[in-house]
Amino acid sequence: MITTNEDLKEIVRQKYGEIARTDSTQGVNVDCGCGPSSCCGPASTDASYSILMNDEYSTINGYAADADLGLGCGLPTQFAQIKPGDVVVDLGSGAGNDCFVARAETGESGRVIGLDMTPAMIDRARKNAKALGYANVEFVYGDIEDIPLPNNLADVVVSNCVMNLVPDKPKAFAETFRILKPGGHFSISDIVLVGNLPDGMQRDAELYAGCVSGAIQQQDYLDIVAAAGFADIQIQKQKAVTLPDELLRNYLTTDELKTYQQDGRGIFSITVFATKFATKSTGQPE
């Protein structure tokens, strides 16, 4: 029985290790289970996850097919306002796809650092970077709750469907704040809940789509971001994760189903932007 945050992280690490070792030509088909042991990725079928969660990457500059394991729920780099020469950190970088997209934006004069807590993912990402000949993209092993990077390093932080898997979200966002330069910002895609879900539905949604177990209420998520010290918090994109009617009918009558589909409740992919404002010596925002 899972009782600690370390237990949760170890399960995610093991599942992502399995995914990292999967032959990319065969696709990913790892059953992440339900409840706290779920990880972000295909659960019942690859097709169901792709329809519900993934956004299209293949036409974006810097996209690397060998580094795309289909584990995201948004396109944070598309909204991250990355400029040439920026230092970009990707939290939960997986096989490196978002890092390579970020590198296309920051150019050879910039620097991109991917952080992941799964050794097999780090190994795969490093091989991908070497194959692409990118000398300014590096991958670091570490925990988002205790990021092994210095203060005030990054101009931009991105993350794609990873924070929901982190047990201690306040600490993770506090660490994100720490590594950003004053005036820097993040763009993070993640899974959140809006409103109360019918009993049992969240568990079955995890079986169907993965990536739901660690999701919290959207307002609670935004409150955690604000409590970490961030300002200018905004939702750049929101996309409903539309569960099939056959799943919803397990919990809702026909009339309840109509109401549920119209009242704004459910599971959503959001991309959130926030800024670490520059501060004076007094500690107050300029």
pLDDT at 262 (0 to 100) = 78
> What's the pTM?
0.81
pLDDT at 274 (0 to 100) = 98
- Across the range 131-160, mean pLDDT stands at 97
Q: Are the C-beta atoms of 157 and 228 separated by less than 8 Å?
A: no
Alpha helices in the chain (DSSP H): 5-20, 46-52, 76-79, 97-106, 119-132, 169-179, 201-209, 218-227, 245-248, 254-262
Residue 111 — very low, low, confident or very high, per pLDDT cuts 50/70/90? very high
Mean pLDDT of the chain: 80
pLDDT at 124 (0 to 100) = 93
DSSP string, 212-225: -TT--BHHHHHHHH
pLDDT at 266 (0 to 100) = 84
Could you tell me the residue ranges of all domains in the chain?
5-275
Residue 214 — very low, low, confident or very high, per pLDDT cuts 50/70/90? confident
Residue 21 — very low, low, confident or very high, per pLDDT cuts 50/70/90? low
When comparing pLDDT for 267 and 224, which is higher?
Answer: 224
- Across the range 74-86, mean pLDDT stands at 96
Alpha carbon 150 to its chain centroid, in Å, reads 22
- Across the range 258-271, mean pLDDT stands at 84
pLDDT at 206 (0 to 100) = 60
Residue 77 has pLDDT above 60, yes or no: yes
Residue 144 has pLDDT above 90, yes or no: yes
Q: Which CATH architecture has domain 5-275?
A: 3-Layer(aba) Sandwich (3.40)
Q: Cβ-count burial of 262 within 10 angstroms (0-12 exposed, 13-18 middle, 19+ buried)?
A: exposed
Share of the chain above pLDDT 90, in %: 47
